Structure 1
């Protein structure tokens, strides 16, 4: 027996040693791809030495003697720190994820192939300015130079993920950068999903109830829309509840709950600045990932230095400043997508009906390679309106009659897309007028550009806005018959029609994705907007001061007061405040009373340390569920976050909206006070089961954790805890420091979407400008720069934004030198 125990002990120790050796080897090979920031490289593609100074936060300051050399350096550092991320962006845009990940990403590849982004990007190259083409080529050369160094020096395949997936890497091409802007357009566009949802709701509800659940942003009234069943013959109302959403996948940039993005930007003229210079703040909101989609960099160009937020794969500072001009981006919510219902020829399904009769689809076949499975061949079909999207995507089967297909008209589907021209030209602009001029080339996604030079501020929407006919049957708000000429686009409105404000009399400009213009159709910009609440809080903060400072702009950027809570709580709880009778401790009534007492004292601040934000959010979710589930059934799943305007309409009984409080299936007539009380009990039961019965001990931050997940490895049981980042955070769906709740899953309160980049630029003292991103600069999980900026971001702290070369060199974390390879350059 003793011998057996002894051998078992030896085997156990041996297994531990083997495991330890294996872990050491894994760490060694994985860490080989952490770049040496003090290296020197002789490379083909640079004309003169390029110095790359990494400051203490690992932000590269790239000093090239020509613009081409600086863009080469940017490509080099992007590849050093984010190679895997760049290649995943490219694979997504090309529809080639399934080559690595198998059938789980097949529907994503299917959809992206139908958009044909990559062919359109390749075709757009010839329409770009020579300066832009040169920048793209130099950037691609820089990326490829690092890939060559990885192969030559056996540097861990360039990223640890390549040990788990196929390591072959195709060279980077200029079109790879152009296509990433189209991928951003897909992330930031949502009108297709909205049209489908509105059509489904129209099939399920009478028109007056559609206006409740999908209300208009406050402003001028809207012409009544036709019912969808009358607009598209042959549709079955029961289809509204049929089908299911595209299965979500961590790699997917789309899906039924994909967001159009959100963002904040505001500016102050010298007259409203304490220091006498202009101020600009910007925080674009995107889905949180690890690493962040943003990467900080400084470029030294012929026009001067430029610094700010870049996206790996794109050779431009998309939000930031140079010595003379700052610029920020917000999603415009322009209606640049129309879903078109095409009627098939009953005698020949290869043809569809146009105003001029039946015409054949433009068709071609493409093969999707699938790891560990047979290749899948699909047929791509285009009509005069755009690509045909199968019924399996976007719930299109629910709104497409038999004998018809759906096609998408979209400004991003341009084969002469000059958006990259605008991105490159903006970095060289020296004043507001030049910044606006640069924006003329932008096509998609339509964005709001906020500008500040040393003396002036401006707001300009950039991107193509469709020109629709005044007789358009659905005003672009519902899928419309494509065989009727009035439903077809008539080109674009032209840049002169894009909203613009220069030097406002009040000296302040701001946009939180709110409505920016109220022109009548068809000169409108959109009927659907991304915000109706945050803008009210911004106006209050801006009007509270006569003059502003960098600090007051930071304070507004980090503000966590929910305007939605301040609007809804007095309405929903007005019959419940202080009306509860005494009840035994631990009873449902006692818990309800304690929660109401807390909310009565609350100012709407969504602080991570308080229980009130958790009670409020859970209550509004439960209340909306009670109001809509009986009438919408499965369609209620599409409304997974509290809709402030809807709840406000119901509790103000706007146009009879209080009818939603009655449960249609019961003989009794339920009122809104009863539903509010029941919903509060639902919410408290849910929270008690999860967090215990001590209400005062509940913390919003325990539920509202920012989830920065690795898109590929985040679900792996052992790797997930290493590569995913979790942070307790304040904010909420309607706060300026937006932390959008997931709305679904085991924890619907987790924070999934917000300002992954924040920047505040002060032109009274430009080098006092600051910025931050939500993770770290490196995409390597073993690098100390993988998450080193994340805690600063969580605490609301910033780091300096300097264009002074000596300040950058004084705090250098490493200096990389790129030299021309004379052996290669020699004939």
Structure 2
């Protein structure tokens, strides 16, 4: 017996030792790819020495003998920190994910092949100006220099993920960077989904008034430039087919409805600034990932330093500042997509109907290679209107009749896309006039540019606006007949027609994805806008004081008060508060009274530590579900987020909208008060089941957790605890500190989409400008810079943003010197 115990002990000890050795081996291999930031390296492709000076937040400050060398350094730095992310994004837009990840990404690959984005990016290289071509070439050389170093020095393949998903890494090409801009357009575009949902809803609800309720137009003339402060404060006087829905993969760039691009940006002229210098704040919103899509960097160009947020793989500062100019980006919600229903020739399905008769599809075969499986051949088809899309994507099968196919017209499908040249031009522009002129070359994604130089501010829509006929059957709001000439695009509108607000008298401009202008079709910008609530809170904060400071701008970025909550709760709870007798303890009626009491004393602040935001969110979600489920049936599942304008229309009975309160399948006629009470009961029951019975002990942040998940390893057991970054957060769908909720699943309130970057620029004291990202600079989960900025971001803190070279060198934690070989 003693001998048996001895051998079992030895065996257990050996197993433990083997496990420790295995862990040590894995750690050694993974850590080999951790970059050394303090070194000297001889490389080909530069004319003089390049220095990459990194501070304690791992922000690189890049200096070189010329601009080409600086872009070389940026490519090298991007590849040091984000190589896996860059390669994965490139594979995504190329439609080559399945070569690495297998069949799970086949639907994403085939859709990318149908859109043909990468070949269009390749053809767009020739359309770039000479300055941009030189930057693209130098940047690619910098990326490839890092690849050569990895291969030559056996640096762990560049990232730990390459050990798990082995695949060759092709050299970086200029077209790759242009393709990533087109991939951003995919992530930021949502007009197509709106068309499909409107079409599906209109099939169930033919009544125009009721359709206008559930899919409301944003009222008003639009907000962009605010009026002079004295005008608001008088006492101050101064100058159908069968189809199968495909599951969404975390690697898919196609965002569900409601989760496309968003953002905030605003600027103040010297007349509205306490310091006498212009101010600009910007926080672009995208889906959260680990690492974030943004990468902070400073480039010392011949025209001066440029600092801000870059996207790994792209050699431009997308949002940032130079000594003379600051620029912020927000999604414009320009209607730059139209769906068409194309009729097939019944005698020859290889042809489609046009205004002049039937015409052959343009076709091409494309082979999608799949890991460990036989390749799949996809037949790609195009019409004059755009590529043919399958019914399995975007629910197109639900609105496409038999004998027809759906196609997409989209500005991003350009073969001569000069958007990257325009973005490059912003870094060289010296004032807002030059920046506005540069905007002419933007194609897609369309953005609202918020600009500030040392003397003035501006707001400019950039991106190509499609020219539609006045006789367009749906005004671009619904899929239309592709063979009708009046429905087809007729080129694009001149850049001069893009909305522009240059040096407004009121001294304040801003955009929260709200309606900015009200022009009749076809000169309109859009019928679908991304915000109708944040803009109300922003307007109040901006006009609540005559002059602003950097601190007041950061406070606005971090503001958590929900205008929607403040405006809707008095409407839906008007007949519920403080009514009826006290209910016995432990009953649903008592819980309802507790919830109402909490909400009655709440100021609408979506603070992570409070219970009221969670009660409010659950009530409004249950209320919308009660209002629409009996009318829409299963289609109600597509309305994943509460639409405040719909709730307001119903409870104000605008154009008879209170009709939604009556349940069609029941005999009695329910009032809106009845539905509000029932919905609150639904919410209380759900809260008890998921978060506990004590409503006062609830905490919004426990449900509203920011999900910075690794798109590949985030679902792998054990590993997910190392690669995913989760944070309790304040804010919500309709706050300036926007934390867009998932809207589906067991926890619909997870924070999945928000400001991955925040920056505030002060031209009176440039060195006091600040910025932050939501995770960290490194994409390597063993690096301390993988999530070190995330804790600051969560607390609403920033790091200094300075173009002072002496400060950068004084705070250096590592200097990489690239020497010409």
State the TM bucket, normalised to the shorter chain: over 0.9
* Corresponding residue number in structure 2 for 1:392: 392
Q: More deviation in 195-204 or 248-257?
A: 248-257
Q: Is the aligned partner of 1:121 residue 2:121?
A: yes
* Corresponding residue number in structure 2 for 1:82: 82
TM-score w.r.t. the length of structure 1 is: 0.96
Distance in 2 separating the partners of 1:190 and 1:255: 8
Q: Is the aligned partner of 1:420 residue 2:405?
A: no
* Corresponding residue number in structure 2 for 1:281: 281
Distance in 1 separating the partners of 2:34 and 2:611: 42
* Corresponding residue number in structure 2 for 1:271: 271
Q: 1:569 to 1:155 in 2, by over 3 A?
A: same
Q: Is the aligned partner of 1:613 residue 2:607?
A: no
Tell me how far 1:8 sits from its aligned partner: 2.0
Unaligned runs of 5+ in 2: 223-239
Q: Is the aligned partner of 1:735 residue 2:732?
A: no
* Corresponding residue number in structure 2 for 1:209: 210
Deviations 1:63-104 (A, max 9, x none): 011000000000000000000000011000000000011110
**Secondary structure in 1 matching 2:651:** helix
Distance in 2 separating the partners of 1:522 and 1:91: 37
Tell me how far 1:574 sits from its aligned partner: 0.5
Deviations 1:281-323 (A, max 9, x none): 0000000000000000000111110000000000000000000
Q: Is the aligned partner of 1:483 residue 2:518?
A: no
2:221–2:516 contact (8 Å) kept in structure 1: no
1:615–1:683 contact (8 Å) kept in structure 2: yes
Tell me how far 1:7 sits from its aligned partner: 2.0
* Corresponding residue number in structure 2 for 1:755: 755
1:286–1:754 contact (8 Å) kept in structure 2: yes
* Correspondence 1:40-79 to 2 at 5 A: 40-79=40-79
Tell me how far 1:639 sits from its aligned partner: 0.6
Distance in 1 separating the partners of 2:307 and 2:416: 28
* Corresponding residue number in structure 2 for 1:689: 689
Tell me how far 1:609 sits from its aligned partner: 0.4
2:258–2:641 contact (8 Å) kept in structure 1: no
Distance in 2 separating the partners of 1:624 and 1:426: 43
* Corresponding residue number in structure 2 for 1:328: 328
Distance in 1 separating the partners of 2:13 and 2:626: 59
Distance in 1 separating the partners of 2:393 and 2:692: 41
2:221–2:517 contact (8 Å) kept in structure 1: no
* Correspondence 1:193-342 to 2 at 5 A: 193-206=193-206, 207-219=208-220, 243=243, 245-257=245-257, 259-342=259-342
Q: Is the aligned partner of 1:774 residue 2:774?
A: yes
Distance in 1 separating the partners of 2:243 and 2:694: 42
Distance in 2 separating the partners of 1:149 and 1:304: 30
Deviations 1:11-67 (A, max 9, x none): 222111111110011011101100000021100011100011001110000001100
Deviations 1:139-169 (A, max 9, x none): 0000000011000110010000000011410
* Correspondence 1:531-546 to 2 at 5 A: 531-546=531-546
Q: Is the aligned partner of 1:23 residue 2:30?
A: no
Deviations 1:638-677 (A, max 9, x none): 1111111111111111111111111111112111111111
1:157–1:167 contact (8 Å) kept in structure 2: no
Distance in 2 separating the partners of 1:145 and 1:257: 40
Deviations 1:452-500 (A, max 9, x none): 0000100110010000000000100000001110001111001000000
**Secondary structure in 2 matching 1:199:** helix
1:386–1:407 contact (8 Å) kept in structure 2: yes
Q: More deviation in 135-144 or 3-12?
A: 3-12
* Corresponding residue number in structure 1 for 2:408: 408
Distance in 2 separating the partners of 1:117 and 1:64: 33
Q: Is the aligned partner of 1:156 residue 2:156?
A: yes
* Corresponding residue number in structure 2 for 1:509: 509
* Correspondence 1:519-538 to 2 at 5 A: 519-538=519-538
TM-score w.r.t. the length of structure 2 is: 0.97
Q: Is the aligned partner of 1:700 residue 2:700?
A: yes
Q: Is the aligned partner of 1:131 residue 2:127?
A: no
Distance in 1 separating the partners of 2:451 and 2:209: 41
Unaligned runs of 5+ in 1: 222-235, 822-827
2:190–2:257 contact (8 Å) kept in structure 1: no
Distance in 1 separating the partners of 2:690 and 2:363: 53
Deviations 1:732-791 (A, max 9, x none): 000000001111112111100001100000000011100000000000000000000000
Deviations 1:702-737 (A, max 9, x none): 110000000110010111110000000000000000
**Secondary structure in 2 matching 1:789:** helix
Distance in 2 separating the partners of 1:775 and 1:461: 29
Tell me how far 1:258 sits from its aligned partner: 6.1
Distance in 1 separating the partners of 2:388 and 2:668: 47
Q: 1:778 to 1:69 in 2, by over 3 A?
A: same
**Secondary structure in 1 matching 2:412:** coil
**Secondary structure in 2 matching 1:144:** helix
2:344–2:351 contact (8 Å) kept in structure 1: yes
Distance in 2 separating the partners of 1:468 and 1:440: 19
**Secondary structure in 2 matching 1:10:** helix
* Corresponding residue number in structure 1 for 2:173: 173
Distance in 2 separating the partners of 1:43 and 1:255: 40
Deviations 1:103-136 (A, max 9, x none): 1000000100000001100111111101110100
Distance in 2 separating the partners of 1:607 and 1:581: 31
Distance in 2 separating the partners of 1:360 and 1:259: 36
* Corresponding residue number in structure 1 for 2:675: 675
Distance in 2 separating the partners of 1:718 and 1:634: 36
* Corresponding residue number in structure 1 for 2:469: 469
Tell me how far 1:243 sits from its aligned partner: 4.4
Tell me how far 1:2 sits from its aligned partner: 3.0
* Corresponding residue number in structure 2 for 1:565: 565
Q: More deviation in 663-672 or 503-512?
A: 663-672
2:706–2:750 contact (8 Å) kept in structure 1: yes
1:704–1:728 contact (8 Å) kept in structure 2: yes
Distance in 2 separating the partners of 1:508 and 1:581: 51
Deviations 1:666-711 (A, max 9, x none): 1121111111111111111111122211212110001100000001
Distance in 2 separating the partners of 1:761 and 1:580: 54
* Corresponding residue number in structure 2 for 1:38: 38
Tell me how far 1:244 sits from its aligned partner: 5.1
Q: Tell me the matched-pair count.
A: 803
2:94–2:112 contact (8 Å) kept in structure 1: yes
Distance in 2 separating the partners of 1:244 and 1:668: 38
Distance in 2 separating the partners of 1:304 and 1:437: 20
